[in-house]
Amino acid sequence: MTNDLLGRHRAVLPDWLALYYEDPLEITHGEGRHVWDAHGNRYLDFFGGILTTMTAHALPEVTKAVSEQAGRIIHSSTLYLNRPMVELAERVAQLSGIPDARVFFTTSGTEANDTALLLATTYRRSNTVLAMRNSYHGRSFSAVGITGNRGWSPTSLSPLQTLYVHGGVRTRGPYASLGDDDFIAACVDDLVDLLGHTRAPAALIAEPIQGIGGFTSPPDGLYAAFREVLNEHGVLWIADEVQTGWGRTGEHFWGWQAHGRNGPPDIMTFAKGIGNGMSIGGVVARSEIMNCLDSNSISTFGGTQITMAAGLANLNYLLEHDLQGNARRVGGMLIERLRSAAAQVPAVREVRGRGLMIGIEITRPGTDQADPQAAAAVLEAAREGGLLIGKGGGHNTSALRVAPPLSLNVAEAEEGAAILENALRSIQ
């Protein structure tokens, strides 16, 4: 049955639509932190549909909210007042930390970043954008144009002039050997020099922790230091929280808060986990930035009632059950367990991350050279052991990505770590 589906997939879908595994997996249903495939095999899910099933599979509170809303009305567009959309916008505005915030809902993180770029370039009257090396911001034409990861940027054509800044990867690049303070100082000096050679950009867009890039991040405080320079030039800061938001990092509700001594970003984008599988993305910005557009606009599917109902129920559950605290506690235990296991595997260059957002970088032993084949082998071995994980990294890195639902318990974390340890050992 799966082979037939794979053939049908290949016959009608693009060749560039990536599939995991030599024998691709059809997931038929899930519950809690587990999913099942078409053959009845059960897996512990440590990737959550790319960090999207944030709370749990088949969470009763969310499925009930979706079912009840579907029985009333599913969709009307933004041309009509929409109570669930207003209620979720109020919650997101308050949680964002951005003063006098306005919220616009989209259907994806890509669309959210598109909107942020539209706002920033219009507000600043500039089509120059600063982005981070090794970054990823989506698959649309404009988002690809600011993506600093060669493996996910299929064209150099763009409506934007993009300049790439150092700092998103702590342990690679020209400043990797420096201590944290000197690393930040060197990246700031580079930013200052870059700004001296270009017309004033509209914004810097940055993921606090790079997602597709392999869960890499700078030292805490880098973007706060950047902000001081950006403010001198009137350049906006866009925080891409599509993967880092909603408490996943454990220590903070938003990734930007690790760099927040100069206040919240001017614009923040979000998506993925807030819908727990329903298609929700969005942008939060100060009112004068959000309201700078001087033409009409709507969203046909952004903010539709059924997705907003899911988002409200999911957010309520997350806050009421302190899943941020759970990510901090269980994630802290999991990352130490994985570091202990990885210390015995020469192919593991680094275990990094925070909360339930953990990256394991695989290289050829004794070198810094990426080993994509070994990373793929670990992915396969983990599946054989009953665990689903992700992978990522820039063009010269190969990383495994571990990002379970935030309700993960200690026993499940230990089970997943044991499977992953065996998978890592299998490549020696």
Which domains are present in the chain? Answer: 2-58+323-425 (3.90.1150.10), 64-320 (3.40.640.10)
- Give the Å distances, CA to CA, from 405 to 30, 183, 202: 12, 33, 35
Per-residue DSSP letter, 391: E
Do 123 and 292 touch, CB atoms closer than 8 A? yes
Q: Residue 156: phi, psi to the nearest 5?
A: -95, -5
**Residue 384 burial (CB count, 10 A):** 13
Q: What's residue 143's pLDDT?
A: 86
- Tell me which residue of 199, 265, 192 sits closest to 232, measured CA to CA: 192
User: Token digits for 387?
Assistant: 């665990």
Tally of helices (H runs) and strands (E runs) in the chain: 13, 15
Q: What's residue 154's pLDDT?
A: 82
Q: How many CA atoms lie within 13 A of 39 on its CB side?
A: 9
* Coil/strand/helix, residue 374: helix
Q: What's residue 396's pLDDT?
A: 62
Q: What's residue 1's pLDDT?
A: 57
Do 48 and 390 touch, CB atoms closer than 8 A? no
Q: What's residue 99's pLDDT?
A: 97
**Do you know the residue count of the chain?**
428
* Coil/strand/helix, residue 161: strand
- DSSP state string for 237-286: EEEE-TTTTTTTTSS-SSGGGGGGGG-S-SEEEE-GGGGBTB--EEEEEE
Helix segments in 268-408, DSSP class H: 287-290, 305-320, 323-342, 372-384
Per-residue DSSP letter, 178: S
Do 216 and 398 touch, CB atoms closer than 8 A? no
The amino acid that residue 41 corresponds to is N
* Model-wide pTM > 0.75: yes
Q: Are strands 203-206 and 27-31 parallel, antiparallel or unpaired?
A: unpaired
Q: What's residue 199's pLDDT?
A: 87
Q: pLDDT tens string for the chain (428 positions)?
A: 567 999 999 999 999 998 999 999 999 999 999 999 999 999 999 999 999 999 999 999 999 999 999 999 999 999 999 999 999 999 999 999 999 999 999 999 999 999 999 999 999 999 999 999 998 888 888 888 888 887 778 887 788 999 999 999 999 999 999 999 999 999 999 999 999 998 899 999 999 999 999 999 999 999 999 999 999 999 999 999 999 999 999 999 999 999 988 899 999 999 999 999 999 999 999 999 999 999 989 999 999 999 999 999 999 999 999 999 999 999 999 999 999 999 999 999 999 999 999 999 999 998 989 999 999 999 999 999 999 999 998 766 699 999 999 999 999 999 999 999 999 999 98
Do 367 and 397 touch, CB atoms closer than 8 A? no
Classify residue 372 by burial, with Cβ atoms within 10 Å: 0-12, 13-18, 19+. Answer: middle
